[in-house]
Amino acid sequence: MDYPKRKLIMLPGPTNVPDRVMDAMIKPMINHRGETFTTLLKEVTEKSKHLFQTTESPLILSASGTGGVEAAVWNIVRPGDKVVVPVYGEFGSRLSEAVELAGGEAIRVTSEFGTVPSLDAVTEAIRRTANLKAVYLVHNETSTGCTVPYVEELGKVAAERGAFYVVDAISSLGGYAIPVDKWGVDVCVTGSQKCLAAPPGLSLLSMSKKAAEYVRKDPPRVRYFDLGRQLDFLAHGETPFTPAISLYYALDVALDMLIEEGLEKRVERHSRLAGRFYSVLDAMGLKAFADPRFRSNTVIAGLYPDGLDDKLFRKRMNEEHDIVIGAGFGAMKSKMFRIGNMGEVSTAHVNRTAAAMALTLTKSGHQVDLERLAAVLDASS
């Protein structure tokens, strides 16, 4: 195929990948049963501890985020197990289905899309469920641009009942901090291609002592996703199956960049730039889809003005400005756009996206007050 043109990837994953991370992929091929890979695996594992803020060893699977989430389900949920799942978008819905496919009983706590279920409602569901096995939470709904603000608090409620607490933080970890040890998260899952700004193809899972013990005792029937086996092999510096070596090289450098910047500063940067994005929407007369209380710092979901054609808008952004933004999801497919505010995102990325949107909206007949937009961009840090 033709060599693709480099665009500004403002998607909710994959994101722009820094050259330094990209270039790591072409390091020499090595034996995955040799010392060099063991060194690489150990370093990536150690560095991942910073991401999850854990003293336990996280696991890395050669599968994209969905694979990681399914591994987190199949290793814990057994037929008949009762599992509480807050559902406030597509990915929560998929998670609850995965629980059912594994034979579990998913007790859904729903809320209107654009909001998140209240902590009270989830707590009530947890407390009224006898023999609760686990609580599975999507931290950040990529489909609606909403984030749950009570990850820590929910951990306490799950712990009260002795339930496993699993958090899908695919599109948030690194842009948000989830200190898994402190907050009592047994398994936290994320993907390489979101806030870590590495290429897609790997998922990362933190494992609490309790989760590590459990998965070793009762392995799942899908061996590729057998986390106990992964832990056993990790103990002697290997993976059970051939790993995607080139993607490990990239992840290693992406984690270096996370550590060099510092997780706290990285989270602050995501938060600051998200604020800038929401101000931009507001200045252009566009509404964010999410209730202001739950607006995501990593996925900016905005509503089109009435009558604006989604496909044409994104096509113009892409072809005339070399900027790729995401479409809506499910029922919101043609009414919503989604912008990824993830990874190496910078002030210039926001400005460039804002400028292109202002022009494209104007071209599409939606009036933009450019002075107001400029003032907002000046005022926001």
Q: Which residues bind to a second copy, rule: CB under 8 A?
A: 1, 3-7, 9, 11, 13-17, 22-23, 25-34, 36, 39-40, 43, 62-67, 70, 74, 94, 97-98, 101-103, 191, 193, 199-201, 221-225, 240-247, 250, 252, 318, 324, 326-327
In the complex, least distance from residue 156 CB atom to a second copy, rounded to whole angstroms: 31
Smallest CA-to-CA distance from 103 within 129, 139, 133 is with 133
How far is residue 169 from each of residues 32, 204, 378, measured CA to CA in Å?
28, 10, 32
Cβ atoms of 197 and 17 within 8 Å: the answer is yes
In the complex, least distance from residue 71 CB atom to a second copy, rounded to whole angstroms: 9
In the complex, least distance from residue 215 CB atom to a second copy, rounded to whole angstroms: 15
Amino acid at 155: G
Nearer to a second copy, 63 or 126 (CB): 63
3-state secondary structure of 80: coil
What is the Cα 354 distance to its own chain's centre? 23
In the complex, least distance from residue 300 CB atom to a second copy, rounded to whole angstroms: 16
Nearer to a second copy, 117 or 199 (CB): 199
CA distance 11 to 14: 6
Nearer to a second copy, 14 or 58 (CB): 14
Nearer to a second copy, 178 or 317 (CB): 317
Nearer to a second copy, 53 or 62 (CB): 62
Place of tokens 């996703």: 225
Cβ atoms of 44 and 252 within 8 Å: the answer is yes
Cβ atoms of 203 and 173 within 8 Å: the answer is no
In the complex, least distance from residue 340 CB atom to a second copy, rounded to whole angstroms: 10
Nearer to a second copy, 58 or 326 (CB): 326
In the complex, least distance from residue 12 CB atom to a second copy, rounded to whole angstroms: 10
Render the burial of 159-183: b for 16+ CB within 10 Å, e for the rest.
Answer: bebebbbbbbbbbbbbbbbbebeeb
Amino acid at 88: Y
Nearer to a second copy, 45 or 271 (CB): 45
Smallest CA-to-CA distance from 195 within 249, 273, 87, 286 is with 273
Q: What angle do CA 359, 360, 366 make, to 5 degrees?
A: 90
In the complex, least distance from residue 280 CB atom to a second copy, rounded to whole angstroms: 21
Nearer to a second copy, 14 or 184 (CB): 14
In the complex, least distance from residue 233 CB atom to a second copy, rounded to whole angstroms: 12
Nearer to a second copy, 43 or 291 (CB): 43
CA distance 131 to 82: 7
In the complex, least distance from residue 55 CB atom to a second copy, rounded to whole angstroms: 22
How far is residue 232 from each of residues 38, 41, 211, 235, 237, measured CA to CA in Å?
14, 13, 14, 5, 9
